[in-house]
Amino acid sequence: MAWDNVGNLYVCDNWDSIWRVYSPPGANQATMVAIQTLHAGMPPLAPVLKPLSYANSQFLFTLSGRTNIDYVIEGSADLKSWAPVLTNNDICATRLVVVSAPQGRQFYRAFTKWWE
């Protein structure tokens, strides 16, 4: 939702999948009939991180997602506190991710901040 300088309210109506514009009554009424349709795309698919192997103190994963999107790989020792390990961007939907192995047990997950 957003307002412009003359008080028009712009809202994305997810229920009806349309863009709505509300104009206040009076002299500053400025909305008109839209001639174009706004198409909002779906957010990127959730990435899938699959372990492949362990070699030379490194874990190898495949990350399946979308192309040209930054995916953040995070690690956690307790599944409560997560910290970024690396960021991956590739032109391939499935890509190889290599993470240096820590001394102790570590869990990994991948996500993207598609809204930024």
The per-residue pLDDT for range 72-93, each reduced to its tens digit, is 999 999 999 999 999 888 888 8
Residue 66 lies in a domain: yes
Q: Are residues 55 and 37 in the same domain?
A: no
Q: Are residues 70 and 16 in the same domain?
A: no
Domain range for residue 79?
48-111
Give the pLDDT score at 31. Answer: 52
For the chain, the average pLDDT equals 79
- Polymer length of the chain: 116
Give how far Cα 78 sits from Cα of 38, 39, 98, Å. Answer: 44, 41, 21
Give the pLDDT score at 38. Answer: 52
The arithmetic mean of pLDDT across residues 6-23, rounded, is 75
Which tokens hold the place of 102? Answer: 């820590």
Give the pLDDT score at 35. Answer: 47
Q: Are residues 64 and 36 in the same domain?
A: no
Residue 76 lies in a domain: yes
Give the pLDDT score at 81. Answer: 93
Encode pLDDT of 23-59 as tens digits. Answer: 766 665 555 544 455 555 666 678 888 988 988 889 8
Which tokens hold the place of 111? Answer: 């996500």
Number of compact structural domains in the chain: 2
Full-model pTM: 0.57
Whose tokens are 């570590």? That residue is 106
CA angle in degrees (0–180, nearest 5) for 74-78-83: 25
